Structure 1
Amino acid sequence: MSSTEEQKLAFLSSPRYAVVGASKDETKVGTKVLKWYVEHGKEVTPVHPKESEIQGLAAVPTLANLPDPTHTSVSVVTGPKVTLSVLEQAKALGIPQIWLQPGTDDENVTKYIKDNGLADKVVYGGPCVLREGDGLLKST
């Protein structure tokens, strides 16, 4: 099993999840990712700076507002500039695992991950949890 596979499995073994980038727009990938967690019976919190509720779930404005950040895996579905800020917050809060969905990273994000010792905690540069999640859950 590759280290990336191990990271994805560690990500999916979390007791809690958060999605940064979910919105009220059901056509957006962030909302589809949020719904995926709900459909799989996962405890998930949307993170949105302006919305208090998304898909019937109470939203929090930042990762710092999560009830238990050190036991929450975070899916990120944002542009690279916001992703960088999310990674900085996640590092400060001790978020255990992060999955950057496709299109959320760039060279600055990748450099931050490597320079800050986060390579073993961040899944990036690959497929979305929507594409791989079901298969990974079946393998656990």
Structure 2
Amino acid sequence: MTAVQKHFFGAETFAVVGASTDKSKFGNKVFMWYLDHSKPVTPIHPKEPSIESVPALTSLSALPSPKMTSVSVVTPAKVTLSVLKEAKELGVWAVWIQPGASDDACAEWIKENEMEDKVIYGGPCILRDGEAVMALIGQ
């Protein structure tokens, strides 16, 4: 577990950018992980009105309290970069970029903007690592 992973779970609420209605996609699997672990989660999708019967928002800027929200990102890397920029602007609590959702440009932006203490990227997956982190911090 890293300090960033521990910080991530200190948020009051969570959101999944790239949540999907398609159960075969990781956007749905990650969103369901939060529901299955009784975490207060909001799906973020530009077109879908709801995901798994939970009302969706169209962007991070629609979150009622982004400064208290940790965000999982399951989008193409080019979209992820814009999500990172919006998250920084809004003061989002923390971001967990799921495997395959980032590239070198995202990693470079994270470093240039000194976001390494708020962004998990480069391999860890909430589906694989989330339960272990929560157990270590008593959740």
Alignment of 1:21-32 (within 5 A): 21-32=18-29
Give the one of 7, 29, 50 matched to 1:10: 7
Q: For 1:105, what is the secondary structure of its paired residue?
A: coil
Superposed structure 1 runs of 4+ greater than 3 Å apart: none
Identity %: 48
Matching of residue 128 in structure 1 with residue 125 in structure 2: yes
Q: Does residue 1:47 correspond to 2:44, yes or no?
A: yes
- Please state whether the residue corresponding to 1:130 is helix, strand or coil: helix
CA distance in 2, matches of 1:67, 1:75: 17
Alpha-carbon shift at residue 8 of structure 1 (Å): 0.4
Residue of structure 2 equivalent to 1:79: 76
Task: Tell me, in whole angstroms, the C-alpha distance in 2 between the residues paired with 1:98 and 1:15.
Answer: 13
1:109 matched residue in structure 2? 106
What is the TM-score when the length of structure 2 is the normalising length?
Answer: 0.96
Structure 1 residue 100 corresponds to structure 2 residue 116: no
Q: In the aligned structure 2, how far is the partner of 1:127 from the partner of 1:27?
A: 20
RMSD, aligned α-carbons: 0.9
Q: Deviations over 1:25-57 (max 9, x none)?
A: 011011111111011110000000001100111
Residue 14 of structure 1, CA deviation? 1.2
SS state at 1:127 partner: coil
What does residue 90 of structure 1 align with? 87
Cα distance in 2 for residues equivalent to 1:12 and 1:132? 12
Amino acid at match of 1:130: L
Normalised to the residue count of structure 1, the TM-score between the two structures is 0.95
The CA deviation at 1:127 is 2.1
1:103 match: secondary structure: coil
Shift of 1:20: 0.5
Q: How many residues align?
A: 137
Gaps of 5+ in 1: none
Which segments of 5 or more consecutive residues in structure 2 lack a partner in the other structure? none
